[in-house]
Structure 1
Amino acid sequence: MRKSKFVSIYNDLSEKIHQKKIDAGALLPTENELCAQYQASRETIRKALAMLSRNGYIQKVQGKGSIVLDVSRQNFPISGLTSFRELAAHSKRQWTTNVHQVVLLKPDEHLKMVMNLQDGQTVWQVVRSRSTEGESVILDRDYLIQEVVPLLTADQCAHSLYDYIENELGLKIGFAKKEITVEPANEDDYHYLTMHEGTHVVVVRSLVYLENAQLFQYTESRHRADKFRFVDFARRDHM
């Protein structure tokens, strides 16, 4: 699937901001200048700028332009719905995904309750860890309803689940409900993660829905607490 031009422009500008080719506090070129630079329509440029604003890269000031915000610190966003592969693409670190398990199973009673599953429904269980700088610091356990995702391979899980679901299966992912807690490390954390002296992990549990509001995924993502800062970028709605 061909990437929309405004997404390519967003990626280019956000990368320049990350690499400090455009300094925090500086003004982006005007819309007319960006149209000429990227050979794009004003509507396309405005979509790219809106995406930059929504993700905390710029602040639009009427009569002045788009001011670049400080994004120098590495953060793990808690809002939005972004795949790990997309987050890693903007990270200064090199990341590796290790797929430990891809199995089809009958859900237990807890999972049936969490995902509102009916008797006879089956789910894919995917266990992956994420490593950087020689240490495993994230453990992801995903459950996907087989009726929505009929087939799943380790290669697809190693690359990107969301890329496969959206670009291969042609489904549109809509939104997620998230819960964040700090919990004592369990047996799996000590087995899959490089824990050192840490005794607790930050756990992000997500229910992910398609655009038509159909639940298709439950994820438990466990993070080594000393490696991440969980942030949100909020804008006040002016009524």
Structure 2
Amino acid sequence: MIDRQSPVPVYFQIEQYIEHLIEAEDLKEGDRIPSEKEFTEQFQVSRMTIRQAVMDLVSQGILIRLKGKGTFVSERKKIEKPLTGLNGFTQEMESRGLKPDSRLLDFKLSVPSKKIAAKLALDVGQNIFEIKRTRLADGLPMAIETSFIPSGLVPELTAEKANQSLYDYIEKECGLVIDHAEQTLEASIVTAREAKLLEVPKVSPVLLIERVSYLKSGEPFEFTKSLYRADRYKFIIRLPNA
């Protein structure tokens, strides 16, 4: 319970108490937690203190708030994504028995920035298709993905085709052979707009992946920036003994 003599802030002690209830399965996935009023009476603290504890757990993805219904223990099961092998989002979700989908946010022909031109080894004057999508699995937003592809490689690409599996389109319709990719992974924080698209609280943590994908010829064909929900993804890498 609450130790008012402890140097640990009261709101954080309440966070730990709620987490303990979840770990002990006194509160299970989908369970509604007590209301602010109930917690206030239980701990004899202000509603502001309770709200701070609850919102911290919401921002970590441990709890989820549903407007007009209350606050619930969120589903903690994460998708395990190996950092080996090259698959598109569609293939990844289908391999796990999930239904992939996309919401096309932007599709345009544009002039690449210096960074993107360098990533794709483009000369001055070469344009790119810029495709921004929210990627979903079983209807739940999982990631925001922005892809940059040289327009010369896929001149007949349309918004409709771009909102499907790009890898399938490139290999099956364009006859190109995808070979490998190089990518980086780092932690980041969502902007207000990104939080809305991913349906997560503001300043929620995300996993940022930047990837350059190459054809069998060695030519880079795609530069992608993806923001994955940290509460839904776990990345795994196998480390052989050197």
TM-score, length-scaled by structure 2: 0.62
Partner of 1:154: 159
Partner of 2:53: none
Gaps of 5+ in 1: 1-71
* Equivalent residue in structure 2 for 1:93, among 94, 98, 101: 98
- How many Å apart are 1:151 and its aligned residue? 1.9
- The 2-side partners of 1:125 and 1:231 are apart by 29
Q: Which moved more, 1:224-233 or 1:92-101?
A: 92-101
Instruction: Give the length in aligned residue pairs.
Output: 166
After superposition, the Cα gap between the structure-2 partners of 1:210 and 1:190, relative to the gap in structure 1 and judged at 3 Å, is same
- The 2-side partners of 1:201 and 1:115 are apart by 25
Partner of 1:178: 183
Are residue 217 (structure 1) and residue 226 (structure 2) matched? no
**Identity over aligned pairs, percent:** 24
Are residue 126 (structure 1) and residue 157 (structure 2) matched? no
Instruction: Report the structure number with the largest CA radius of gyration.
Output: 2
Q: Deviating runs (4+, > 6 A) in structure 1? A: none
- The 2-side partners of 1:196 and 1:74 are apart by 20
Amino acid across the alignment from 1:182? A
- How many Å apart are 1:141 and its aligned residue? 0.2
- How many Å apart are 1:116 and its aligned residue? 3.0
Please say if residues 137 and 194 of structure 1, whose CA atoms lie closer than 8 Å, have aligned partners that are also in contact.
no
- The 2-side partners of 1:115 and 1:186 are apart by 27
Amino acid across the alignment from 1:190? A
**How well do the aligned residues superpose, as a CA RMSD in angstroms?**
2.2
- The 2-side partners of 1:84 and 1:209 are apart by 17
Amino acid across the alignment from 1:80? G
After superposition, the Cα gap between the structure-2 partners of 1:167 and 1:132, relative to the gap in structure 1 and judged at 3 Å, is closer
1:112 match: secondary structure: helix
- The 2-side partners of 1:156 and 1:234 are apart by 37
- How many Å apart are 1:114 and its aligned residue? 3.1
